[in-house]
Structure 1
Amino acid sequence: MNISMLLDMASDGFGDRVVIGTRESGITARRLKELAVAGAEAVRDAGADAVVYLAVNGPAFPVAMFAAARAGVPLVPVNYRLGREQLDALLAHHPRALALADPGQAEVLEHAGLESTTPGRWLDTLSNSVVTEASADTVLDDEGAAVVIYTSGTTSAPKGVLLRHENLTSYVLGSVEFAAAGEEDAALVSVPPYHIAAVANVITNLYAGRRTMVLEQFTPEQWLDTVRDQGVTNALVVPTMLARIIDSPADKSTPTLRALAYGGAPMPGRVVERALHLWPEVGFVNAYGLTETSSTVAVLGPDEHRAAIASDDARVRARLGSVGIPVPGVQIEIRDENDSVLGPGEVGRICVAGPQVSAEYAGVGRVVDDHGFFDTRDKGFLDEEGYLFVGGRVDDTIIRGAENIAPAEIEDVILRHPAVSDVAVVGLPDEEWGQRIEAAVVLRPGERVEAEELRSFVRSALRSSKTPERILYWDDLPRTETGKLVRRHVVDRIIEDAAAV
């Protein structure tokens, strides 16, 4: 099933409803289909084999996605924040693409041999196109890739993940009820277009009949103002955004907000607890997923959040730190280094399977075992009731004196200190122990705490072998736009600073 069928259903089911943009000047489902049909004609006329989107998020993004799908080519949203060398390398994979780009990227595209237009100019052109019945009835390709997303490269060079129509439609049909949203429902999305959450939110909100808006340049004040001004009922944020909203002195009233989803990186417990107390009527959702899995594979829903925060049972309360249970159609297993399936409470590699799981890389193919399971390279465990707890990347493990140490365990403790707002724990080469533990800490505004006090704080919760030997104080940490810590950049900076000294 081609993702264009989702748009066809929306156009037929609630064609006059605004589904993209503001209430005042948004795009209806029927108009979105007309623009997508015209866009597909433009793609075919250009002889393009892909649509490269190198721009900030906006109304042109969903149009480009469905235009590419209808034309039988993939959409390739590219990170506009990458350096010139990385952009050149990615664009070299798509020499025949039709390119949509912000004006500042024109030189990069010209160097890659691609002609480009801006998203706004492209939409204007499509708006003046004549859509014929023949072009609207084109036979759709169900087999090819719908989207190619290049991973963020937090531990290595970006890889192109192929998300086929089957993967994306399986995710939508398994997690969303058609036309379930009310006519006044509106979603506010605060992630860039080259992230899987941006793709997933376009298709899921459209299928539900929910109007979607994007806040590309995030500030707490603008986010809160938009929620109130546009009657936002559903919102998606990453943990760093929620922390900034909670800490902001701005008016935090959100009278229409009913659901707030978060994900993309671990959520500090104190942040979500403060948010739950601030907005007790809002349903919080923690979503865990990867690009390779077409977004969410596990969810901790509103009822679980409320039960955890209200419970005196330590096991139930601990689930506030979980990512919930698998979504329909997804299987999750925890495996050890020998690929044996582990039992409840045992930490190992998180492996997932299901029709929404792509696990397919350009030039490589699918990376799954004989049973269709994909190794996420995330560590974690399932509790007795099937709740999934994620504990960082396998590659992040610090090996100190033959002991495997998870940085996330130490970070969780340091984040409990009231003076700390962010932290990264890494392993550095050490002649005696193999690796030594060091921590980069960001303090909350106006706070101060001595390094030895923090070390004692960790030692009181964990044994001395897991206490950082050195604590550094930084203004911020290297994170992606979705809040993921780029741990290798932390290591690089520590080594560079030491060399400079």
Structure 2
Amino acid sequence: MVTDVIDVIAEFAISRKAIWDVLVEPQSYPRLFRGIGACEQRDAADRNPTLTLRVGGAGIEIRTLLVQVRIGREYENLELHCPDSGSFAAVRLREVGPNTRISVTYFKAALVHPLVAQLPNSAAAAWTQAGLKRVADLVTGAPTATIINGEDSPMKLQASVARQMVASGVVRTYRPDVGLKQLGSLAKWGFSLAGGYAAAAAHSPQRAAVIDDRYCTTFDQLHSRSNALAGAMTMLGFGNRASIGLLCRNHTGMVECMVAAGKAGTDAVLLNTGLPARQIEEIVQRHGLSALFVDSEFEDLVRYLPADLPRFSTGERPPEPGRTTIEDLIAMREIAAKKPARPGHLIVLTSGTSGTPKGARRPHPKGFGTVAALLSRIPFGVNETLMIPSPLFHTWGLAALQISTAIRATIVLNDRFDAEDCLRRIAEHRVTALIVVPVMVNRILDLPEHVRARYDLSSLKIVASCGAPLAGATVLQFLDTFGDILYNVYGSTEVSWASIADPADLRLSPTTAGRPPLGTKIAVLGQDRRILPVGATGRVFVGNHMLFDGYTDATPPEESNGMLDTGDIGYLDASGKLFLAGRDDEMIISGGENVFPRSVEEALSHLPQVSEVAVVGVPDREFGQRLAAFVVKRPGSGLDSEMIRNYIRHRVSRFSVPRDVTFLDALPRNATGKILKRTLGQAT
């Protein structure tokens, strides 16, 4: 076991000032030293700040440590004190010729964490030296900020995929005749929605495939109905190589249209239900759509489109007499083509939060690798009951639908999201997995405790969120309320998935975007497209087999060594977890300093009076740009602008303190729940 005093020495051919600048920066510790998951800084303006560190992880108890940073003689010595335990570390820097020698002495290290007491001095020394080596790498620019889950060798990766498929139960020994039917379906339609539902119908024809507000459809019924619908599409002239638009909420009809389009070789453009009529008109023209399938409630959005553009109602009651419905098309019982010359693609529109939505052509999954990737980080099992309130026209909702066919999950869909109704449906259908976007997580947490207590949620094992960052305070509140069932997925329309944080990751590092799934590579690159060191902030690039097939109407993002630029800024920590600082286009320069809004949003999210917050950059005559905060208060809170500024002033740099604080009843969001920061910026 460790002794009361431990001495560690490391020496590097680096200037003392460069090492000092890293060691006095509080955020260096969670980035460069394993087992430190998060660092919240108090009294940031103080020369000797106080930090709150989360330590533990990897099956080790997580503890919160209060640490005081006491700066001694500049460039020479500092101390890290834990006042609650009396433990501290003394750090001394000395110049030895061209080198810098770092001496670290620990006093009463065993009191910091129960695990430390069980370790030998050599383990504490090795941990310290490894962290200091990362400090040196950061200073010298060593190319270490890259990580891949899996092997670069295709054969080894395929072996990993096969193991994942067997371990999860997706692939197992079954009746040969059933297996042949499944393989035949995949051979005909490929690893697409069409192939997935056909294979599921061959394996479990009478199992419920989709449950919505109107009825329940089995896998066999959905396969047969989509066959008939594909036949009607082909007969009407918008089959192979044509494009149709779907303007629908989540329901069985939308699923049937997507599957049928794939069988007919038709591209289906998934229109965002939150778009204005003008943008829908632009998209229809840009993509040369041959037909529209529309929910009746959105009829006003397509009213002024050309009269010769065929429109079909996705509901049972058309908006006007004589309008053909998908039920009418299915009733025609046209025979679909045996196999289209080219499989139909699903085209997802980007969120458009920073401009006009672009059409991104989604690739068809390539074998079981797509399923294995998500299952390697989220433990979905076969025969799940999976509820998807996240819009199906959104990449995350669509991805969940695609994965559901491989695990033969029953999908529960609802037209609109209501937090309490969501809990009611979970209890009613014994939902095991919930697919959400962050605003839905917030709405569920906002429900009073006595309302949440009405519903039996014991069946729920997975809540997977994607689409925007989750605030650290929200993550911890959700885990404490519902248990360790939260998964945070980071991805985009262009790269599909990039990383996934499981409950263990989130417990230690609530703001992390997680680790790459199987077959995924992440690298953090500088402006020169060279790999940066671990802990350094740069552009996040992602590579996997589900990178999109390009925009239909825009120049694709930059590439580097087979990886796509996500447009996000972030860093990798010592344990291989990804953290995001924000979008590249969100960064502002205030008084010559690079400032990201997310650090301010994270700090404000910990205020109990704050329900939601968004921070944006706005023009400033003196500093070029400044931050403006938009805050939604919880009912009854007595928060004012000066309280916000005082709170932030002690936690971030002075350039990050928002001079403008505006209180709103709600933040503007698009149909997928993303905050429309562009709108907020224009409002100042």
TM-score normalised to structure 1 length: 0.89
Q: Partner residue of 1:284?
A: 486
Aligned partners of 1:119 and 1:262: how far apart in 2? 28
Aligned amino acid, residue 655 of structure 2: S
Aligned partners of 1:458 and 1:123: how far apart in 2? 55
Matched, 1:396 2:396: no
* TM superposition shift of 1:72: 0.8
Q: Partner residue of 1:463?
A: 653
Aligned amino acid, residue 315 of structure 2: G
Aligned partners of 2:560 and 2:472: how far apart in 1? 37
The match for 2:310 among 93, 98, 115 is 115
* TM superposition shift of 1:170: 4.9
* TM superposition shift of 1:247: 2.0
Matched, 1:293 2:488: no
Aligned partners of 2:409 and 2:201: how far apart in 1? 13
1:29-178 aligned within 5 A: 29-48=219-238, 49-106=242-299, 108=302, 111-112=305-306, 113-121=308-316, 122-130=325-333, 135=336, 138-141=338-341, 146-166=345-365, 170-172=369-371, 174-176=373-375
Deviations 1:188-230 (A, max 9, x none): 1112232112211211112111101123311211111111111
Aligned amino acid, residue 440 of structure 1: F
Identity of aligned residues (%): 27
Rg: which structure is higher? Answer: 2
Secondary structure at 2:452 match in 1: coil
Aligned amino acid, residue 284 of structure 2: L
The match for 2:503 among 302, 305, 312 is 302
Aligned amino acid, residue 339 of structure 2: V
Deviations 1:429-484 (A, max 9, x none): 12211112221111111111222221111111112222111211111112223332
Conserved? CA contact 2:630–2:663, under 8 Å: yes
Aligned partners of 2:617 and 2:213: how far apart in 1? 50
The runs of 5 or more residues in structure 1 that have no matched partner are 309-316, 495-501
Deviates most, 81-90 or 162-171: 162-171
Aligned amino acid, residue 341 of structure 1: I
Indicate the RMSD between aligned Cα atoms, in angstroms.
2.4
The match for 1:480 among 670, 677, 680 is 670
Q: Which runs of 4 or more aligned residues in structure 1 lie more than 6 Å from their structure 2 counterparts after TM superposition?
A: none
Q: Partner residue of 1:245?
A: 444
Conserved? CA contact 1:334–1:350, under 8 Å: yes
**Alpha-carbon spacing, 1:106–1:423, altered in 2? closer, same or farther (3 Å):** closer
Conserved? CA contact 1:180–1:209, under 8 Å: no
Q: Partner residue of 1:498?
A: none
**Alpha-carbon spacing, 1:58–1:414, altered in 2? closer, same or farther (3 Å):** same
* TM superposition shift of 1:24: 9.8
**Alpha-carbon spacing, 1:355–1:47, altered in 2? closer, same or farther (3 Å):** same
Conserved? CA contact 1:46–1:98, under 8 Å: no
Aligned amino acid, residue 271 of structure 1: T
Aligned partners of 1:348 and 1:370: how far apart in 2? 14
Aligned partners of 1:123 and 1:156: how far apart in 2? 33
Q: Partner residue of 1:216?
A: 415
Secondary structure at 2:576 match in 1: coil
Aligned partners of 1:58 and 1:290: how far apart in 2? 23
1:196-275 aligned within 5 A: 196-249=395-448, 250-252=451-453, 253-275=456-478
Aligned partners of 1:44 and 1:379: how far apart in 2? 45
Aligned partners of 1:46 and 1:205: how far apart in 2? 30
**Alpha-carbon spacing, 1:283–1:437, altered in 2? closer, same or farther (3 Å):** closer
**Alpha-carbon spacing, 1:467–1:228, altered in 2? closer, same or farther (3 Å):** same
Aligned amino acid, residue 328 of structure 2: T
Aligned partners of 1:235 and 1:75: how far apart in 2? 25
Conserved? CA contact 2:245–2:289, under 8 Å: no
* TM superposition shift of 1:123: 4.1
Aligned partners of 1:361 and 1:24: how far apart in 2? 35
The match for 1:325 among 504, 515, 520 is 515
Q: Partner residue of 2:40?
A: none
* TM superposition shift of 1:22: 5.5
Aligned amino acid, residue 139 of structure 1: K
Conserved? CA contact 1:170–1:356, under 8 Å: no
**Alpha-carbon spacing, 1:14–1:131, altered in 2? closer, same or farther (3 Å):** farther
The match for 1:15 among 188, 205, 229 is 205
Aligned partners of 1:372 and 1:365: how far apart in 2? 17
Aligned amino acid, residue 114 of structure 1: L
Q: How many residues of Structure 1 are paired with residues of Structure 2 in the alignment?
A: 475
Q: Partner residue of 1:417?
A: 607
**Alpha-carbon spacing, 1:239–1:180, altered in 2? closer, same or farther (3 Å):** closer
1:444-459 aligned within 5 A: 444-459=634-649
Secondary structure at 1:442 match in 2: strand
Aligned amino acid, residue 438 of structure 2: P
Aligned partners of 2:213 and 2:287: how far apart in 1? 36
Conserved? CA contact 2:438–2:470, under 8 Å: yes
Aligned partners of 1:71 and 1:153: how far apart in 2? 29
Q: Partner residue of 1:190?
A: 389
Deviates most, 332-341 or 268-277: 268-277
Aligned amino acid, residue 474 of structure 2: V
**Alpha-carbon spacing, 1:438–1:175, altered in 2? closer, same or farther (3 Å):** closer
Secondary structure at 1:320 match in 2: coil
**Alpha-carbon spacing, 1:233–1:41, altered in 2? closer, same or farther (3 Å):** same
Secondary structure at 2:546 match in 1: coil
Aligned amino acid, residue 274 of structure 1: Q
Aligned amino acid, residue 488 of structure 1: R
Aligned amino acid, residue 70 of structure 1: K
Aligned amino acid, residue 72 of structure 1: G
Aligned partners of 1:401 and 1:483: how far apart in 2? 33
Higher normalized contact order (CA 8 Å, seq sep 6+, divided by chain length): 2
Deviations 1:5-52 (A, max 9, x none): 222221112122111116994111121111121111111112111231
Deviations 1:396-422 (A, max 9, x none): 011111111001011111111111111
Secondary structure at 2:650 match in 1: helix
Aligned amino acid, residue 639 of structure 2: V
* TM superposition shift of 1:360: 0.9
Aligned amino acid, residue 268 of structure 1: A
**Alpha-carbon spacing, 1:167–1:131, altered in 2? closer, same or farther (3 Å):** same
Secondary structure at 2:251 match in 1: coil
Deviates most, 102-111 or 41-50: 102-111
The runs of 5 or more residues in structure 2 that have no matched partner are 1-189, 317-324
Conserved? CA contact 1:168–1:356, under 8 Å: no
